[in-house]
Amino acid sequence: MARVRTLADLRTEEEADENTPLYNAETGSRDSDSTSSGGTAPRSMPIRFLELLFPHFSLRSVVLPISLVDWILYIVTVCLDTELPLIPASNILVHFGANYPPLIKQGQVWRLLLPVFLHANFFHVFFNVFFQLRMGFTIERRYGLLKFAILYFASAIYGNLLSATAFFCNTLKVGASTAGFGLIGIQICEMALTWHRMRHRDRMLMNMVSFVLLMILLMFTLNGGSIDQMGHLGGLLCGFSIGILYNKGLNDKPVWYSWASAIAIGILIALPASCFPVLYAVDRHCHRDIPSF
C-alpha cells in the first residue's frame, strides 16, 4: 500500500513542478515550506518515512486531525456495540450520524456530513484514512487549508446527498470515500486542464485509469463487497467541479475552459436543487422502520 501513487505524483513525472500552469494558480505559500534544503536541521528518520509514505506530510495539515477523528470514532463505536468483531452495530452508527435517508427526510440534515467520520469495519477505516492522507497533504499544500476543507466536506455532502436520494429505503451508509472521490475528482480535473501540454499522454491515461480502478477494487474488497456508487459519483462530480473553479487563474487554459466552468457551476447548483425536492417530497413507502436506539 505504501507504493500507491497519487495522480499528482503521476503529473509531476511529466512536468517540472514550477513550470506547470497549475503552479501559477497555487497559493504563494506552497513553496515556502518545501524547498528549505539549506540552513535547516535534517529531518528525523520517522518524519522522512512519513513524507515518503504521505507526500508533503505536515503536522499543521487539516487532513491529519480529520483522520484522527475517523479513528477515534471508529474505536468508540466498536467499544459501544458490535455486530461482529471490529464491526460497529448498525444502531450505533445511526446514533452517531450515519447516512440514513428516512431520518434525513425528518430534518436531520447533519447526516449528510457526519458519515464521513464513521466507518463500517477496521479495513474500511484503514483504507479510507490511508487514501486521504496519501492524496490529501499534496492537494492541501497546493490549494491551502481553507480550500481543501471546502473541497473535502463539500464532496462528502454532495456524495451523501446523491446517495440518500438514489438509495432511500433500507440503506445505511458511512465512510470517508465520498470525500475521497472528491480528491480523485480534483486530481482528474488537474490532469484534464494540463492535458494539452503533457507528453506521453497514452502512458498518463493508462496510469490514471489504473489508479482509479485500483481504488475502486480496494474499496469494494475492504468494505465487505458493498460500494455506495452514487455517493462516490456525487463526490467525484463535486471534486471535479470545484477543481475547475479553483483553477480559474490558470495560465494557458484549454480552449474548453469557459464552458467547462459554466457546467461546473451548473453541477454544483443543480445537484442539490434536484436532490432535495426528491428526497423530501417523494414518498418511498419503505417497509423497514427507522432504527431505534
Nine-digit cell at 117?
467520520
**Active-site option among 155, 163, 177, 241:** 177
Instruction: Tell me which residue of 131, 109, 108 sits closest to 119, measured CA to CA.
Output: 131
Under 8 Å between Cβ of 141 and 34: yes
Place of cell 455532502: 157
Place of cell 504563494: 28
210 is catalytic: no
237/184 Cα distance (integer angstroms): 10
Beta bridge partners of 265: none
Please compute, for residue 23, the number of CA atoms within 13 A of its CA located in the half-sphere on the CB side: 9
Residues in CB range of 58: below 8 A, 6 or more apart:
33, 64, 137, 140, 141
User: 104-113: long-range contacts at Cβ-Cβ below 8 A with a sequence spacing of 24 or more?
Assistant: 104/164, 104/279, 105/279, 105/280, 111/160, 111/164, 112/156, 112/157, 112/160, 112/161, 112/164, 113/153, 113/156, 113/157, 113/160
Nine-digit cell at 236?
467525484
**Active-site option among 61, 155, 232, 241:** 232
177 is catalytic: yes
User: Which active-site residues does the annotation give?
Assistant: 177, 232
